[in-house]
Structure formats: C-alpha cells, structure tokens
Structure 1
C-alpha cells in the first residue's frame, strides 16, 4: 500500500532496472570496441615502422659505404669487385646517385700483389671522401646562388672562380675575329641551325692550355665551341636544370658540326665522370696536360690574381707548396694536388674506355701547336684544315697566332701568357721529385709518355 502511494509499483521498478542494465551493456560493448580499434591501429603503426626500418635503411645508408654486389664502371683491369650502395629514391638521394655512377657497371682494382693496387685503393677511398666534401660544397653554393638571385634578380652564372659570367679560363668566341663571313652559310652545312648537345667535352686540366686549344679549334668550320664554362656536370644548381637547360647553353650548330664544351674543373671532380656517362656513354673527352710543376705555378698565379682584385695579401708559392712544419710537399694545396694527374685519370677510366679520351700534350702544343691540333682533328673525325703554314709566331705573346685566309692575324687575348715569378730552385726540385713517381704511374695508366723531366721551369 505504501509503495503504491509512493509511486513505486513492482512493475515499474523492474522495467527501470532493465533499462539501466541495458545501458550498461551498451557502454561495455562500446568500451570493448574502442580498445579493439586502438589495438588494431597500434598493430598497423608497429608493422609500418618495422617495414620502414627494414626497407628504408638502404637508401639512408651513409654515402661512401662499400659493399659487394653492385657493379660500377668499365672493365679495364682484372681483380676484385668494389661496389657502392644502391641508389635510393627521392631528391635526397641525388648525391648518393653520384657515388653509385651507372648501375651494374664494374669497378675493378688491379690484381693482388700489383704495385698499383694500394695506390688504386687509396684513390678510390679519396674519391669517396672528396664526393662527400663536394656534395656539401654544392649544397652551400646552391643555397648561395638561390639567395643571390632572389635578392639581386639575376641569372648570370657563378663559376668555380666565384666571378659572374666568365672566369680567367673563359674564352668567348664572340671575341674572335677569325670567323669567315661564310662560316654559317647554310649551303655548306646540313640540317637546321640550332643548339645541340656537345659531342665532345674538354674536361681539363686547368692552366694547361685549355683556352688556347679551343682558340685554334674554333677556326675549324666543322667545330663549334661553347661560349663559356658551363659547369653543368659539377655544380648542382646547373645540373638540376636538366639536359634541356644544358643544350640551351650550347652555340647554334648544324647537324654536320661538332659542338665542344669546356669546363676544366670537370677533370678534378670525382662526381663528374658518372654524370657524363649517364648522359652519354659515347661522349668523346679531351684533356690537355702540362708539366706538373709549371702548371701548379700557373694555377697559383690565377689564385693570386683573384686575391689582387680585392687588394688582399696572398702568400708566396713556396709557403703554400711546402709544409713549413715538415718541409714536405703540401699536397692539400689545390694547385699542387691538381697536378697529380694519375689519381683523377684513374677514376675517369672507370667510366670511359681509353680510346674515348684524347690526351693532348700541352707542352708540345705550345711549341708546335699544329701537331696537337692534327691529333684533335683525327680524334673528332673532321677534315685536317688547320695547317702548319697558318700558325705564325708572336714575339710579344711568345706564342703562335693564327693567320686567316684574308691575311689577318688572330692572337690569344692579352691576359693570356702571364710571366711566372721567380721560384726558389730548391722548391722546384722538391716538387719535381715529388711528381716523378706519380708521373710514371700516369704514363703506364694512359700508355703515353711526356718529356716532363727534361722541361725547365
């Protein structure tokens, strides 16, 4: 009776209890679903992480790690296979791609017990270390280049010398007045006149006569040369522009003409050979070499000239070429290091066969340029049109000029042919002794000898 008066009937009490119990069951079900979904998500995340750890480690491996398996380079020697990690994906692996070179190529060291094996191994390790340093330098240069363009709104290239537009090795065919009026006569050529990718690259060596060689080659009607050092293969801000940009830097040419690009810094860059090989494995290469000590002095003069532009003091050649603490040759000095031709040529021959590389004797070119020019004409497969009779000695420049059919003399620019300063004879002798064994290794490597021991500085 009291329960009824209070409004609590047995029926209503039982129904309310069932409703509460039903709500509790739904809550527990939702809670179980929440934990189940959470466990599933955690499992997926864990599996994804494990997959990334196993497959992502390879592309993120530290550049320069040597492994057995992948093949890089050409078969020039017999011996052990030395390889570099596989290329990863994405732009972050661009530098790693340069270390790898073309995939499935063979990089071989000389046979066990060979006297060159130890030196070849050192050269390979040195190349990897240089790649890392140059990769960092490229990133720094790229950032500086982008910042410069943003603030100054300019496209003018900055070459390895740090100057805009052209370096001291720059040769502008527009400065050359030797071109006959009918040079671009379409009736004498085939195909359309348009920029084309080069068929030959003059890769170096800096201060060995690259500009003078191009100066005379430009007289040939079947040869066209690039108007500046392009630096496409050694500077990242240009390499990233792609082949279309590279071709646009070339002069217009006809189908029966050969375009030559010149960038001397290519020779001493360990990443350039693989890049050129991937672009065109049939590319013809030329390198002009010179007596190592005199070439090093010329490069020193170029470095000092850049310092003089800013009225900055510059150390003497002797203090840079010789370590003052040990009295030994300072190989870390760029001018000295760049004359060790063996180290760089060894690397180039891992990508290109010897018959695709013409080595021009820079010292003989200075004495009898027509002899070396004739070799270049044969190498390029063009007619021998630059004869001995057209080379005329210039007593002022102490070098040859070219006599045009019109009777006009065409000579090298005035800034060429700097006189060398007087260098301590003991330093010169120490450098000659330092280079002599490496010169012999270079002779054996390329199958060609030079009279560098007979040359006087």
Structure 2
C-alpha cells in the first residue's frame, strides 16, 4: 500500500511526465484505448481550457494547464497552423469554434512568440502547445503577427509548411479537416447578439465569447459603402490573383 500511495502521489505532482515509461508499456496502454477515446479526452480538455479563457491576453502565456491528467496523452508539437489576423476580425471566435473539432488542439491564450518572445526559443514555444495525437493539428492564434515585419521570416524559419490563416474564407476546407462543426453546435444568444457554443462536453454551461466581443456595427450610408468598394476593388483583385481564389467581394 505504501508503494502504491507513493506512486500515485509521484504522478499527481507531474513527475511521471519527466520519466516516460518504456515503449512496450506505452504501446500496451494505448492499445487498450481506441483513438476515438483518446481524441475525446483531448477534445473535452480543449473545451474546459476554452471555458476558462474569456479574454485575449497581452502577457506571456503559461503552460501549467498542460499538467492535467486529461492532457497527458500524445506529444507537444510546433503548430501546423497559425491564425495571424486580422485584429478584431473574429479570430477569437474562429479559434474557439475550431477547438470544437476533435482533430484540432489549440492554445487558448495568444503566445505572441514571433513578435514579443522570440528570444525565448522554439523549445519554450513548443512547451506552450497542448499535447496532440497522431492526425491532430496543433494551432495557435496571435493577430499581431499580421503587422509584425519580422514574423513572416521567423515562421518560415520554423517551418515552411505551417499554414497561416487570415479570416476570409472557409477555414475547415483550408486545413483539410472533415466537416464536423455545424449549426447544431451553436445557438443565438439574444443578450449578446451573436451565436454562442452550446454546452460543450465536459462543461456545465454554454460557451460564449467575452464582454469585449460582439460590438454593435454602426449604420454606414450606402454612398460611403460604394466609395469603399470602389477603393478596395483593385486590392481585392490583386488578392484573388495571389491566392488563386475569388472571394466574391464585389
């Protein structure tokens, strides 16, 4: 009994992660759980992490949440996709909605690695990431990368295959994800005036974005809208040529 109690206490303090079990033990344990069960654990932890994140942070994030037992499967990887912008373009909503997908694991807070904390190194950055299983995508979002001159070269130096997301089109298609996030995951919140996530699995309440989100749009005169469309039309056409996709913003 004393040996068992010592082992349980040892694991609860997080020390088990520092001394990985032999390969044959890990394979035996993984064989007892299907990949769907493991993904369910990861998805539920993502919902819990997201429920605690009400506002974007401007400080260096902490990876202490990664010590939870539910997030002990898989490995930490550098992100394969990063939401880079634009500010106030719905990036927080996009991240929260993508985290509903079982194949997406994302950091809740903005890491600001490529603009503020680059000197801390890639291992520091990697340690901020949640653990992922084979076939899952690691993501983060920091809109200020979009306006940081050094960010493109730094991301490219990390990986030329990392996908950069600017809120414009259908992101699930861009990431190659199976379409599982649909209207059934949302309800329209009359008080806030925008859709919220229905009660996520593992949470006791629905998930809505924070108080700073969902600002009322001003009424813009039609002649002003026409002038704006005329002004941005050549820039839109250039974007269509660069991306090879027509977003239909005429």
> TM-score w.r.t. structure 2 length?
0.62
1:380 alignment counterpart? 175
Deviation at 1:255, TM superposition (A): 4.2
Question: Aligned in 2, Cα 1:441/1:381: closer, same or farther, shift over 3 Å?
Answer: closer
2:89 alignment counterpart? 208
The alignment partner of 1:274 has SS state of helix
Question: Aligned in 2, Cα 1:184/1:218: closer, same or farther, shift over 3 Å?
Answer: farther
- 8 Å CA contact 1:173–1:225 kept in 2: the answer is no
Q: Which runs of 5+ in 1 are unaligned?
A: 1-171, 178-182, 290-359, 361-371
1:286 alignment counterpart? 165
Which string of whole-angstrom CA distances, capped at 9 and with x for unpartnered residues, describes residues 275-297 of structure 1?
111111111222213xxxxxxxx
Deviation at 1:192, TM superposition (A): 4.0
Indicate whether 1:395 and 2:190 are aligned.
yes
Q: How many residues align?
A: 187
The counterpart of 2:243, out of the listed 421, 425, 446, is 446
Q: Distance in 1 between matches of 2:81 and 2:162?
A: 6
1:233 alignment counterpart? 114
Which string of whole-angstrom CA distances, capped at 9 and with x for unpartnered residues, describes residues 295-330 of structure 1?
xxxxxxxxxxxxxxxxxxxxxxxxxxxxxxxxxxxx
Q: Distance in 1 between matches of 2:109 and 2:206?
A: 23
Which string of whole-angstrom CA distances, capped at 9 and with x for unpartnered residues, describes residues 374-422 of structure 1?
x51x443444332332222223333222224769533222321111345
Deviation at 1:234, TM superposition (A): 2.3
Question: Aligned in 2, Cα 1:197/1:387: closer, same or farther, shift over 3 Å?
Answer: same
Which string of whole-angstrom CA distances, capped at 9 and with x for unpartnered residues, describes residues 414-449 of structure 1?
321111345576655443332122112212221222
Indicate whether 1:175 and 2:56 are aligned.
no
Indicate whether 1:431 and 2:232 are aligned.
no
The counterpart of 1:244, out of the listed 123, 127, 144, is 123
Q: Which runs of 5+ in 2 are unaligned?
A: 1-48, 55-67
Deviation at 1:184, TM superposition (A): 7.3
- 8 Å CA contact 1:227–1:250 kept in 2: the answer is no
- 8 Å CA contact 1:224–1:253 kept in 2: the answer is yes
1:418 alignment counterpart? 215
The alignment partner of 1:410 has SS state of coil
1:156-171 to 2 correspondences below 5 Å: none
The alignment partner of 1:247 has SS state of helix
- 8 Å CA contact 1:176–1:410 kept in 2: the answer is no
The counterpart of 2:132, out of the listed 253, 256, 259, is 253
> TM-score w.r.t. structure 1 length?
0.36
- 8 Å CA contact 2:73–2:131 kept in 1: the answer is no
1:409 alignment counterpart? 206
Which one has a bigger Cα radius of gyration?
1
- 8 Å CA contact 2:77–2:131 kept in 1: the answer is yes
Question: Aligned in 2, Cα 1:390/1:192: closer, same or farther, shift over 3 Å?
Answer: closer
Question: Aligned in 2, Cα 1:176/1:231: closer, same or farther, shift over 3 Å?
Answer: closer
Question: Aligned in 2, Cα 1:254/1:242: closer, same or farther, shift over 3 Å?
Answer: same
Q: Distance in 1 between matches of 2:75 and 2:205?
A: 29
Question: Aligned in 2, Cα 1:427/1:387: closer, same or farther, shift over 3 Å?
Answer: closer
Deviation at 1:251, TM superposition (A): 2.7
- 8 Å CA contact 1:200–1:260 kept in 2: the answer is yes
Instruction: Tell me which of the two structures has the higher relative contact order, counting C-alpha pairs closer than 8 angstroms and 6 or more residues apart.
Output: 2
The counterpart of 2:80, out of the listed 199, 218, 223, is 199
Q: Distance in 1 between matches of 2:53 and 2:122?
A: 28
Deviation at 1:450, TM superposition (A): 2.8
Aligned Cα root-mean-square deviation (Å): 3.1
Deviation at 1:211, TM superposition (A): 0.7
